[in-house]
């Protein structure tokens, strides 16, 4: 647009200079060309005024009307010269249109001007306007206007109108020039591009008018001359002004950018530059001197006007003097305020030159840095910053100074600063620009940095052992796999679990357990290399990251890491001195190597799997991860997921194993055992599916071979549900058998923990017996008391209540539990059931033979019947019968039977007893026959088998 404007105006000026080639073309371009330019300016200003919605709309409407008046005057002029071919009359409609050009423009400029906010501001505005207008009037009167006024006194009838017209043009131009100059110094900040362009257009028009009214050109002027180029350019500039304003408006993309702060001038002293009054006086003096040089007496008009200009100048200077005094006082007050703020601030304020030299340092430096402010002034800022931080600080400062101030007015830098005592303080500085240099507002944040470091350390380390925790260990594993060691596949992760730690907590207390963990952590930290990482993952689980040495020989690296793991296992398994006593635990360690492409989570999971394989393999050992471990994990996960819905889908089956009299071979009772038949047709024993259940719920203890006690590691809700199903199914089938004439008691195994956790209330057992019509004495609960923490008072009350219902109580696993003697002394037990571990070695081991014989003697002395669990060989039957055991359960007689096979066995009634007829049993209950429970003392009550 600007280039097109320049080309059009330049083309018009060249044509005018060449007189357009003919008088006719010159007349057309000088009249109708100027009229067309005026119409274009009027249309442009009017369109812009309708498009905006602000206080500037009236100004642009006035500019449009002013341009329209100029275009009308030129059109009338062309009508006479071009259309009629006549000279333009001295007084015509064109003169009226030209006179109407200046007043709307003057009012429009006043609308655009920034309005004063005080009364003194309005006075100064009037004085400034008169200083400009009066000085210009004095000069114009001396040069030309006085001659025009004298011509009106010649007596010519047409002289007065012509003189008035000759005076009107320059006076209006003087007023317009005054408004242009005033507006130049008082223009509003809005749409500055449009206002500047409009001012330039009107100034160019006024200049052309002044040249036209001068005596040198007015007599010889003809349309189409070079003077018309000034009017043409002024009209086009006014037409372009709105477009320049639209282009200067901020777009949506820059709407959110911060604008540079503007310095607002005072309403009085900022109205005009300080030289404006003196320039006005100089112009007025020039007008008076013109009369003197022309050898004419001084005109009264000039004298009067000059006196008013001088008076306005004196008043204006007086106002400026008062305003300067007020400004000086305000400045002194602000300086005192600033000095108080700087000196009283706890932050250190420093001003650095562009070279980095400190020019000013606030007094707070003595309290913050331990150095006097005078000592720091003149010091190079770089010498006070820690060498390790200097490069980063210099880079940030250079980047900040290169950024646009509007986009980044400040920046923040944190570095270490040298104190007077030689220490390094952590300093945070807010940096601003200042005359090419910097202003730094600094504060000591050493305590904050120390606290952050402490919090970071606490977040990444175990509070008990001070070893790295799981989060920090995982990050270091990630760094080992992704950093410069990414291609080193000899890096290994060790997962370590302390075997037997739970027993330490349970027996000697948690305080002793914490002391053991602290000592184990110290041993682990001392055993790893300097570059390796030892960590505590939680509880009694530890881990170690063994960084690789670049060895590509996998077997050699495995041997080396296994040697490290064995050394750790040996170190951690050494006795611990806790509270004056010696405590022993073992360590199970799993090892996994960083194979190509492995992630940190997968590597740690592999080490965890290897560690659990080490625990399952007997504990106190080292196990290396193998891919089949993951496959087994997937298989167990699938099996565990299937196990969750097996009970609801009827996949559990109930089998019964006969309990046989060792004297006669008769079936005395049956033991209920659960089996799970999976969708693939596999029949899982309790030992198998309970291990899966423990895995699926995060348990770690091994399940018993044929009990539900191991299921305690699983979900309590699922344990209770399975236990209820087992009891109800056993009672229901036993009732059916009783109705069929098979009066054989059924035994159901149950842990003491389950009996006390509310999952088996007294009313539910009684309700089951009543619902299915099972007679008293036909149900036996085999109780497993393996946890020394079981409250015997609560257990005794619960068992006494069940005993009153006619439920028999058998002590299961006798000979292996923690609380066998206490159970015998306090609980209403009817029967003792020997542990399978004793029965398995009773023939081969003389020691076990003596232990078993002693236990059986205790049972017989208490008048209880005894049952040997796991009797699988004929030799065991003979030995147990000789020791006085009354009943046996195992593969020597029969395995678990389904309901059909069980009833066939009950019809048959007996199993062959190895070794022929039995010897007479020791004193106790009846050696044969049914195991119906008799009431009375313990010595008189026979124990029903289970």
Encoded tokens for 628: 């089949």
Q: Strands, E, within 357-423: which ranges?
A: 358-361, 410-418
How many Å apart are CA 43 and CA 35, to the nearest integer? 12
pLDDT at position 658 = 95
More confident residue, 780 or 926: 780
Say how many CA atoms lie within 13 Å of 14 toward its Cβ.
6
Burial class (CB in 10 A: 0-12, 13-18, 19+), 867: buried
How many Å apart are CA 442 and CA 412, to the nearest integer? 10
Instruction: Say if residues 368 and 442 touch (Cβ distance below 8 Å).
Output: yes
Torsion of CA 921, 923, 928, 930, to 10 degrees: -160
Instruction: Say if residues 621 and 555 touch (Cβ distance below 8 Å).
Output: no
Q: Which of 181-190, 792-801, 891-900 has the highest mean pLDDT?
A: 891-900
Mean pLDDT of 819-825: 70
Q: Is the pLDDT of residue 404 over 60?
A: yes
Q: Which of 182-196, 285-299, 368-382, 750-764 has the highest mean pLDDT?
A: 368-382
Burial class (CB in 10 A: 0-12, 13-18, 19+), 635: exposed
More confident residue, 883 or 191: 883
Helix (H) or strand (E) holding 673: strand 667-677
pLDDT at position 469 = 93
Q: How confident is the model at residue 659 (pLDDT cuts 50, 70, 90)?
A: very high
Q: Is the pLDDT of residue 210 over 70?
A: no
Among 862, 919, 911, CA closest to 891: 911
pLDDT at position 542 = 94
Maximum Cα–Cα distance for the chain, whole Å? Answer: 175
pLDDT at position 657 = 93
Torsion of CA 898, 899, 900, 905, to 10 degrees: 90
More confident residue, 116 or 426: 426
pLDDT at position 700 = 39
What residue has token string 């008293």?
A: 776
Mean pLDDT of 751-776: 77
Q: Is the pLDDT of residue 607 over 60?
A: yes
Q: What digits encode the pLDDT tens for the residues 290-305?
A: 555 555 555 666 667 6
> Which residues are 385's β-sheet partners?
417
Question: Picking from 287-301, 379-393, 601-615, 812-826, which range would have the lowest pLDDT averaged per residue?
Answer: 287-301
Residue 785 sits at the vertex; the CA angle it makes with 780 and 791, to the nearest 5 degrees, is 110
Encoded tokens for 660: 């046989």
pTM greater than 0.85: no
Per-residue 3-state assignment (H helix, E strand, C coil) for 185-233: HHECCCCHHHHHHHHHHHHHHHHHHHHHHCHHHHCCCCCCCCHHHHHHH
Q: What digits encode the pLDDT tens for the residues 859-918?
A: 888 888 899 999 999 999 999 999 999 999 999 999 999 999 999 999 998 998 887 554
> Which residues are 596's β-sheet partners?
none
More confident residue, 318 or 238: 238
pLDDT at position 244 = 66
Instruction: Say if residues 473 and 546 touch (Cβ distance below 8 Å).
Output: no
What is the overall mean pLDDT for the chain? Answer: 76
Say how many CA atoms lie within 13 Å of 669 toward its Cβ.
30
Q: Name residues whose C-beta falls within 8 Å of residue 332's C-beta, 6 or more positions apart in sequence.
A: none
Instruction: Say if residues 814 and 820 touch (Cβ distance below 8 Å).
Output: yes
Q: Is the pLDDT of residue 216 over 70?
A: no
Question: Picking from 111-115, 608-612, 852-856, which range would have the lowest pLDDT averaged per residue?
Answer: 111-115
Mean pLDDT of 72-84: 83
Q: Is the pLDDT of residue 519 over 90?
A: yes
Strands 424-434, 779-784: pairing kind: unpaired
Residue 894 sits at the vertex; the CA angle it makes with 890 and 896, to the nearest 5 degrees, is 85
More confident residue, 606 or 111: 606
Q: Is the pLDDT of residue 764 over 90?
A: no
Instruction: Say if residues 760 and 716 touch (Cβ distance below 8 Å).
Output: no
Encoded tokens for 371: 């150095």
More confident residue, 622 or 684: 622
Among 32, 24, 107, 113, CA closest to 70: 32
pLDDT at position 283 = 60
Q: Is the pLDDT of residue 541 over 90?
A: yes
| % of the chain residues with pLDDT over 70 | 71
Q: How confident is the model at residue 472 (pLDDT cuts 50, 70, 90)?
A: very high
Q: Is the pLDDT of residue 665 over 70?
A: yes
Question: Picking from 512-516, 517-521, 552-556, which range would have the lowest pLDDT averaged per residue?
Answer: 552-556
DSSP assignments along 89-119, one per residue = PSS-HHHHHHHTTHHHHHHHHHHHBPPPSSH
DSSP assignments along 737-782, one per residue = HHHTT----EEEEEEHHHHHTTSS-HHHHHHHHHHHTPPTTSEEEE
How many Å apart are CA 696 and CA 675, to the nearest integer? 18
Mean pLDDT of 548-558: 75
Instruction: Say if residues 856 and 823 touch (Cβ distance below 8 Å).
Output: no
Residue 696 sits at the vertex; the CA angle it makes with 691 and 702, to the nearest 5 degrees, is 25
Mean pLDDT of 563-585: 89
Q: What digits encode the pLDDT tens for the residues 120-142?
A: 766 766 666 666 666 655 655 55
How many Å apart are CA 142 and CA 131, to the nearest integer? 17
What residue has token string 């919605």?
A: 53
How many Å apart are CA 654 and CA 896, to the nearest integer? 9
How many Å apart are CA 140 and CA 754, to the nearest integer? 119
Q: DSSP character for 910?
A: B
Q: How confident is the model at residue 446 (pLDDT cuts 50, 70, 90)?
A: confident
Rg (C-alpha) for the chain, rounded Å, is 56
pLDDT at position 219 = 59
Among 63, 59, 56, 20, CA closest to 40: 63
Q: Is the pLDDT of residue 939 over 50?
A: no
Q: Is the pLDDT of residue 747 over 90?
A: yes
Encoded tokens for 368: 């913050």
Instruction: Say if residues 798 and 764 touch (Cβ distance below 8 Å).
Output: no
How many Å apart are CA 604 and CA 590, to the nearest integer? 10
Q: What digits encode the pLDDT tens for the residues 670-728?
A: 999 888 776 666 666 665 555 555 444 444 333 333 444 334 334 555 656 777 888 88
More confident residue, 296 or 396: 396
Among 451, 578, 582, CA closest to 515: 578
Q: Report how far apart the first and last C-alpha atoms of the chain are (Å, whole number).
A: 108
Among 886, 900, 876, 881, CA closest to 931: 886
How many Å apart are CA 73 and CA 401, to the nearest integer? 57
């Amino acid at each position: 647009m600007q280039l097109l404007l320049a080309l059009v105006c330049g083309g018009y000026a060249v044509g005018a200079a060449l007189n357009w080639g003919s008088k006719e073309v010159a007349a057309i371009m000088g009249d109708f060309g100027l009229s067309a330019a005026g119409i274009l300016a009027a249309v442009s200003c009017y369109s812009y005024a309708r498009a905006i919605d602000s206080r500037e709309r009236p100004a642009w409407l006035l500019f449009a009307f002013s341009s329209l008046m100029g275009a009308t005057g030129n059109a009338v002029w062309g009508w006479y010269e071009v259309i009629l071919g006549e000279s333009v009359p001295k007084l015509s409609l064109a003169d009226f249109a030209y006179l109407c050009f200046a007043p709307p423009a003057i009012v429009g400029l006043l609308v655009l001007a920034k309005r004063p906010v005080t009364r003194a501001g309005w006075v100064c505005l009037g004085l400034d306007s008169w200083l400009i207008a009066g000085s210009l009037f004095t000069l114009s009167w001396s040069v030309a206007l006085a001659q025009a006024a004298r011509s009106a006194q010649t007596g010519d009838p047409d002289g007065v109108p012509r003189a008035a017209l000759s005076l009107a043009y320059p006076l209006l131009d003087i007023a317009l020039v005054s408004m242009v100059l005033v507006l130049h110094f008082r223009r509003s900040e809005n749409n500055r591009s449009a206002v500047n362009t409009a001012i330039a257009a009107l100034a160019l028009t006024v200049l052309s008018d002044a040249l036209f009214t001068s005596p040198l050109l007015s007599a010889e002027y003809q349309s189409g001359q070079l003077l018309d180029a000034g009017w043409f350019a002024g009209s086009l500039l006014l037409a372009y002004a709105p477009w320049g304003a639209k282009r200067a408006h901020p777009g949506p993309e820059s709407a959110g950018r911060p604008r540079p702060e503007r310095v607002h001038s005072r309403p009085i002293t900022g109205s005009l530059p300080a030289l404006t009054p003196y320039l006005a006086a100089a112009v007025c003096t020039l007008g008076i001197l013109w009369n003197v040089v022309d050898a004419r007496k001084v005109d009264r008009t000039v004298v009067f006007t000059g006196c008013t200009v001088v008076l306005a100048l004196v008043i204006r200077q007086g106002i400026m003097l008062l305003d300067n005094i007020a400004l000086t006082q305000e400045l002194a007050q602000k300086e005192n305020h600033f000095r108080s703020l700087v000196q009283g601030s706890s932050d250190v304020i420093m001003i650095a030159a562009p070279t980095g030299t400190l020019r000013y340092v606030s007094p707070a430096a003595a309290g913050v840095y331990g150095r006097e402010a005078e000592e720091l002034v003149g010091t190079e800022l770089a010498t006070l910053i820690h060498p390790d931080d200097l490069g980063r600080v210099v880079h940030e400062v250079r980047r900040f100074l290169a950024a646009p101030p509007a986009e980044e007015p400040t920046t923040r830098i944190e570095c270490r600063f040298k104190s007077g005592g030689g220490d390094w303080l952590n300093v945070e500085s807010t940096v601003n620009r200042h005359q090419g240099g910097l202003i730094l507002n600094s504060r000591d944040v050493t305590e904050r940095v120390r606290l952050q470091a402490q919090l970071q350390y606490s977040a990444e380390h175990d509070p008990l052992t001070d070893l790295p925790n799981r989060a920090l260990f995982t990050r270091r594993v990630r760094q080992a796999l992704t950093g410069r060691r990414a291609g080193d596949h000899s890096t290994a992760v060790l997962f370590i679990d302390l075997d037997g730690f739970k027993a330490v907590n349970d027996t000697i207390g948690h305080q002793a357990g914490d002391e053991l963990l602290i000592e184990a952590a110290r041993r682990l930290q001392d055993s790893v290399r300097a570059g390796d990482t030892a960590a505590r993952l939680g509880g009694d689980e530890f881990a170690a990251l063994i960084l690789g040495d670049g060895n590509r020989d996998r077997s050699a690296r495995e041997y080396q890491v296994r040697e490290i793991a064995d050394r750790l296992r040996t170190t951690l398994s050494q006795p611990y001195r806790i509270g004056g006593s010696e405590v022993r635990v073992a360590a199970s360690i799993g090892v996994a190597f960083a194979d190509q492409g492995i992630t940190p989570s997968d590597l740690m999971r592999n080490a965890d799997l290897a560690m659990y394989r080490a625990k399952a393999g007997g504990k106190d050992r080292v196990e290396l991860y193998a891919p089949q471990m993951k496959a087994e994990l997937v298989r167990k996960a699938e099996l565990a997921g299937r196990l969750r819905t097996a009970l609801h889908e009827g996949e559990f089956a109930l089998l019964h194993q006969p309990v046989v009299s060792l004297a006669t071979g008769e079936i005395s009772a049956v033991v209920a055992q659960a089996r799970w038949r999976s969708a693939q047709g596999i029949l899982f024993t309790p030992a198998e599916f309970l291990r899966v259940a423990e895995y699926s719920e995060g348990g770690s203890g091994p399940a018993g071979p044929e009990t539900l006690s191991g299921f305690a590691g699983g979900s309590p809700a699922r344990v209770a549900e399975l236990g209820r199903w087992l009891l109800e199914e056993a009672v229901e089938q036993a009732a059916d058998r009783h109705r069929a004439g098979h009066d054989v008691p059924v035994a159901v195994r149950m842990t003491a923990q389950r009996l006390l956790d509310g999952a088996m209330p007294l009313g539910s057992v009684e309700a089951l017996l009543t619902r299915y019509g099972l007679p008293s004495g036909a149900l036996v609960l085999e109780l497993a008391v393996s946890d020394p923490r079981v409250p015997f008072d609560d257990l005794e009350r619960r068992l006494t209540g069940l005993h009153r219902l006619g439920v028999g109580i058998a002590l299961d696993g006798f000979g292996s539990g923690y609380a066998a003697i206490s159970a015998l002394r306090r609980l209403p037990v009817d029967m003792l059931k020997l542990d399978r571990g004793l029965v398995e070695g009773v023939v081969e081991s003389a020691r076990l033979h003596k232990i078993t014989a002693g236990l059986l003697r205790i049972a017989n002395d208490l008048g209880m019947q005894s049952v040997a669990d796991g009797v699988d060989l004929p030799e065991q039957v003979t030995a147990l019968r000789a020791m006085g055991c009354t009943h046996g359960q195992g593969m020597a007689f029969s395995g678990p039977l389904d309901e059909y096979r069980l009833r066939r066995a009950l019809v048959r009634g007996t199993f062959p007893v190895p070794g022929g007829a039995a010897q007479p049993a020791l004193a106790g209950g009846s050696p044969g026959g049914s195991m119906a429970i008799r009431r009375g003392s313990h010595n008189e009550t026979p124990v029903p088998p289970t």
